[in-house]
Structure 1
Amino acid sequence: MEACPSPTYAPTSTTSTRSSSRRRQALVEAAAAFKRDEHAVRAPDRVEQVVAAVRAKAVSAGLEPAVAEAVWRSMIAAFIEVELDRHRRR
């Protein structure tokens, strides 16, 4: 199971953005079932890997890497909170 979709994914409409968010949320909720503890949920090393990849993809696409990083960090943080909530409830 891929932890995060490719940073090159760029939805073209609100519908595809919702669909992508639903897919990501489903993956996050499923992942909560097998992670042992909060550190495994937060996965700081994995977050930094994803952010580095996002920044590199942004540069190669001619986009501002700081903006791409801010958007992805915000999304990652929100989904970590969802996953922590699911993890705590099990």
Structure 2
Amino acid sequence: MQTIPKSELYRLVDALPEGDTLAAKRLLEYLLNKTGDPLLRAFLYAPEDDEPLDEEDLAHLEDAERDLAEGRVVAWEDVKKELGR
């Protein structure tokens, strides 16, 4: 079985048009589900968290959006380097 670095998959996901993300998610879930791992299957098919956001959650989201708008962000590559990956 031929393998490729996961970084190649990340590159493809990043280049994927927004309209195709659901299809890609389902395909990846299918590939993962073929393993027969019951824990993985339970995780993949668990319902999404639908709890309403409280005031603290909303404040954190606003802070994050402000940081993003003002350029207070760290590149993913820099994060990986810092974590030693």
Larger radius of gyration: 2
Under a length normalisation based on structure 2, what TM-score does the superposition of the two structures give? 0.33
With structure 1 as the length reference, what TM-score do the two structures score?
A: 0.31
- Higher fraction of helix: 1
Greater length-normalized contact order (CA 8 Å, ≥ 6 residues apart): 1
